[in-house]
Amino acid sequence: MLRLAIQKSGRLSEDSLTLIRECGISFQSSTYKLKTEATNFPLEILFLRDDDIPGYVRDGVADLGIVGQNVLEEAGCTGLQVEALGFSKCRLALAVPRGEAYESVQDLRGRSIATSYPQLLGRYLAGHGVQAELHVISGSVEIAPSIGLADAVCDIVSSGSTLLGNGLREVETVFRSEAVLIAYAALPPEKQVLLEQLRFRMQAVRRARRHKYIVLNAPAASLDAVRALLPGIKAPTVTPLADAGWVSVQSVVQEDAFWHITDQLRAVGAEGILVLPIEKMIE
Ligand code: ATP
Ligand code: ZN
C-alpha cells in the first residue's frame, strides 16, 4: 500500500484530488477526515498542511506527496521530486510599494524584506551580492510595508492582483514553481512498482490535458497539406467521404497550437472541423 500526502485545504487540494481521480482511483473524502483509503488501487491518502509534506516524505512517514516546488525548495528537499504535475503554477516574487523608485535588486541593499521564504530569498539575494534584513512571517506578507514592518516583500504570486490590491509593484521573479510529485528516496521494490504505475497514469492524464482530438473534412487534393499540419501520434486516420474528392481526417493536436493550426487548416480548404477533449492519452 502506497501512502500519499496531499494538502488538506488550500490551493493545491482540489487539483491534487482531481488528478488522483482522473488516474481512475476512487476514494471517499470528507472535510474532517485526515486520511482515506482508495477502493480500487493500493493507495492511502493523508491530508496535511503543505509545509509538513516534504519532511514526511523525506523521512518515509509518507511514501509520496504532492507539494509546490517553492515549499520543496524552501525545505531543502529538491532531490525528492519525481514528476512535475503542471498545476498550481506560480512564482515567488519581490515587490515594493508602488510609488517607490526601483531600478534593480541592488536597490534592496540594507532594506528590510518580509517573506515566508527566507531560504529561497536568501539564496537569490546572495546570488546578486545583496545583503538585506529578512523578516520571516508566515502569512499576510503583502501588508508588511503598509504597516511599517518592512520596505519590501517576497511572496507567492500568480496573477499579481493581491500585490496590486495592497499597493505593491512586482519587481523581480525569485523562483518559478508548480506542483510536483515527490517520493521517499528508499521506497521498497513493491512500492516502487506501484509508484511507476501511478506515474504512468499521471503522465497519460497530463498528456491528454495538453491535447485535443480533431476531426475535419478536406478536399482530397489538400490531403498532403493537411497531413503536414496534423502529424498526429503516428499518422492521421484518413477515410474517404461519400462525396467523391473529399476525405475525413482524424488526428491529435496540441492545445496551445490549436488556433494557429486551425487557421492554417481552413486556409488549405478544411471544413466541418470538430474538436473533442481527450480523457487519457498513452503513447
Ligand atoms: P497550508 O494551510 O496547507 O499551510 P498555505 O496557506 O501555506 O496552506 P496555499 O496558499 O494553499 O498554502 O498554497 C499552497 C501552494 O499552492 C503554494 O505553496 C504554492 O505552491 C501554490 N500557490 C500559492 N498561491 C498560488 C496562486 N495564487 N496560484 C497558484 N498556485 C499558488
Ligand atoms: Zn503552508
Q: Is 49 in the same domain as 185?
A: yes
User: What's the average model confidence in pLDDT over 178-203?
Assistant: 98
What is the model's pTM? 0.91
What's the CA-to-centroid distance between 138 and ligand 2, angstroms? Answer: 8
If you average pLDDT over residues 152-157, what whole number do you get?
96
Structural domain including 258 reads: 212-277
Q: Could you read off the pLDDT of 24-47 as tens digits, one per residue?
A: 999 998 777 899 999 999 999 999
E strands within the chain?
2-7, 35-37, 43-48, 64-68, 81-84, 90-97, 112-115, 133-136, 152-157, 168-177, 179-183, 211-219, 237-240, 246-254, 271-277
Atom 20 (ligand 1) nearest CA? 68
Query: Residues with Cβ within 5 Å of ion ligand 2?
Result: 50-51
Check whether residue 75 and residue 202 sit in a common domain: yes
Task: Judge whether residue 283 has pLDDT over 90.
Answer: no
Examine the domain organization and report whether 25 and 74 are in the same domain.
Answer: yes
Average pLDDT of span 84-113: 97
d(CA 214, CA 179) in angstroms, rounded, equals 29
Cα 177 to middle of ligand 2, angstroms = 14
What percentage of the chain's residues is helix, strand, coil (to nearest 5)?
35, 30, 35
User: 144 and 23: one domain?
Assistant: no
Residues 204, 259: Cα–Cα separation, whole Å: 23
Do 171 and 196 belong to one domain? no
Helices 13-22 + 189-210 axis angle, to 10? 100
Same domain (yes/no): 183, 149: no
- Is 16 near ligand 1, meaning CB less than 6 Å away? no
Residue having the nearest C-alpha atom to atom 30 of ligand 1: 88
Pocket test residue of 34, 156, 166, 170 for ligand 1, highest count of atoms within 8 A of CB: 156
Tens of pLDDT, residues 102-125: 999 999 999 999 999 999 999 999
